[in-house]
Amino acid sequence: MRTRISLTLMLVLLGRALVLHAGEYDFAIPEAEKKSYDLGGRLETRVIHHRLNDDSARNALTYYGKDPGNAHTEWRGLVELSGSYGREVWRAFLLTHHEFVDTEEDDGWDHDIYEGFVSLTPSAHLTLDAGKKRILWGKGYAWNPAGFLNRPKDPDDPALNLEGRVFAGADLIKSLPAGPLSNIGITALVLPVLGDWANEDLGGEGDLYAALKIYLLWYDTDIDFIYFDGPDQPRSLGLDFAKNLAENFEVHGEFAFQQDAARRALDPGGLARETREDQMSFLLGLRYLNAIETTFIVEYYHNDGGLNENELEDFFAYQTAALEEWDRTGRNEILQRANLVTRPLSMGRNLGTDYLYVRVSQKEPFDILYFNPWAAAVVNLQDLSFNVQPGMTWVPVTNLEINFRVGIPIGPPGTEFGEKPDALRPEFWVRYYF
């Protein structure tokens, strides 16, 4: 019933906007004719070295039953192929992802369709999409609390493609006469769950979900209002904004409210408990570019669904206690159970509730063309552990990109980054675009 109401509301809003649009005469300069087809792709090879953290209980659980030694190296090879074909007002897009992974835990190929959709543009203001397409809502660099449909992203690897979601949707945008409100846009999506190949992480087969985004350009401030709802997901309301206070200074933020959302935690004995509650998360950030082209990005993120300080302590205390009991008794089922109950939480990007993200990048220092070094840090403000990550990107020739970064988690045992399996994680990858 809730989803039917949501869909009806979306259709009414969109229908109203279309009626207004149909009643106006638009004067538009014809665009240059596009090619009927476009082909491209990316090749990548990536090497990741894991220097293991012997003091981490998570390390023992992660490599339970294996003998990785003090370090091991994984290799990933990737091919992405993209193409589009269209005539007049329609165009079809395809992006395939093919990755070979060789790690301590697995090796083999993984093949996916990241995007495959048809787009119809009957006018310059209206676009209709159907198929699988990437969704990236929100204004944050490191996190997107209002991006309810987003796939997790890596803010330090922005060229990384993300898998899309299957939906049918409409996108309408209009420019308005002179005034405080200069642009308005409406994006309405319907997302079905179709077995294990379409939106299976949202709910059960046959479920139908609805999402709506209203965009406003108000006094030169980008504002989005976001709505998401469906049978197995909390009703979610989001707001984001971004504004340039000066040519080189931008502020942005996101606010998210989720009604009756699930919250998971472990007690000191490893008993998993799930509660449901209303959650309010938010992000505030800024981006500043100085005169020598150094870019600073700073964000504060509060995740209402994360573990609070006591729950973090219980989580790490249980891992340590399980490892100590296994040392005393030698009973393998102790580590098996500990790995089973802690892995879902450990697989998430951040466990806690409050974080700070800082990134500093320098464009072409010492006049080295197309060379951009940077350094980033994520700090858990509850236990003050953090991850420092220096890196660099260099483009020596057209379409060839060389990247390097090294993750250095810092913190005592019993803290988020002090318990990371890796003590040091250098990573090197080369990309070629064609």
User: To 10 degrees, what angle do helices 332-346 and 309-329 make?
Assistant: 160
Please report the pLDDT score of residue 4 as a whole number. Answer: 45
User: Would you state the structure tokens that stand for residue 288, as one six-digit string?
Assistant: 């500043």
Please report the pLDDT score of residue 300 as a whole number. Answer: 98
User: Would you state the structure tokens that stand for residue 113, as one six-digit string?
Assistant: 């369709």
User: Would you state the structure tokens that stand for residue 379, as one six-digit string?
Assistant: 């700090």
pLDDT above 90 for 221: yes
Strand, helix or coil for residue 61: helix
For residue 15, report the phi and psi dihedrals to the nearest 5 degrees: -60, -40
Q: Are 402 and 394 in contact (CB under 8 A)?
A: yes
Please report the pLDDT score of residue 34 as a whole number. Answer: 65
Please report the pLDDT score of residue 91 as a whole number. Answer: 97
Please report the pLDDT score of residue 67 as a whole number. Answer: 73
Give me the residues paired with residue 233 across strands.
Answer: 230
CA distance 294 to 352: 30
CA distance 250 to 78: 35
Segment 13-71, tens digit of pLDDT: 444 444 444 444 344 445 556 689 999 999 999 999 999 998 888 887 877 767 778 89
Segment 229-286, tens digit of pLDDT: 999 999 999 999 999 999 999 999 999 999 999 988 888 788 888 889 999 999 999 9
pLDDT above 50 for 5: no
- Long-range own/partner contacts, residues 403-411 (CB < 8 A, 24 or more apart): 403/157, 403/428, 403/429, 403/430, 403/431, 404/428, 405/156, 409/53, 409/385, 410/385, 410/386, 411/380, 411/383, 411/384, 411/385, 411/386
What percentage of residues in the chain have a pLDDT greater than 90?
70
Q: Kindly report the number of other CB atoms within 10 A of residue 81's CB atom.
A: 15
Please report the pLDDT score of residue 333 as a whole number. Answer: 85
CA distance 125 to 171: 8
Q: Quick one: pLDDT band at residue 81, thresholds 50, 70, 90?
A: very high
How high does pLDDT run on average in the chain?
90
Q: Are 4 and 397 in contact (CB under 8 A)?
A: no
CA distance 306 to 11: 35
Segment 202-216, tens digit of pLDDT: 999 999 999 999 999
CA distance 16 to 184: 13
Q: Considering only 54-58, 82-86, 366-370, which range has the smallest mean pLDDT?
A: 54-58
Please report the pLDDT score of residue 13 as a whole number. Answer: 44
Give me the residues paired with residue 282 across strands.
Answer: 255, 302
Domains along the sequence of the chain with CATH = 2-24+37-433 (2.40.160.10)
Contacts of 311 (CB under 8 A, 6+ apart): 265, 266
pLDDT above 60 for 153: yes
With a threshold of 0.85, does the pTM exceed it? yes
User: Would you state the structure tokens that stand for residue 332, as one six-digit string?
Assistant: 């393998």
User: Would you state the structure tokens that stand for residue 197, as one six-digit string?
Assistant: 């190949």
Please report the pLDDT score of residue 8 as a whole number. Answer: 45
Segment 92-142, tens digit of pLDDT: 999 999 999 998 778 899 999 999 999 999 999 999 999 999 999 999 999
For Cα atoms 263, 268, 272, give the angle at the middle one, nearest 5 degrees: 35
Please report the pLDDT score of residue 272 as a whole number. Answer: 82
Segment 300-341, tens digit of pLDDT: 999 999 999 889 989 988 988 888 888 888 888 888 888 888
Q: Are 363 and 388 in contact (CB under 8 A)?
A: no
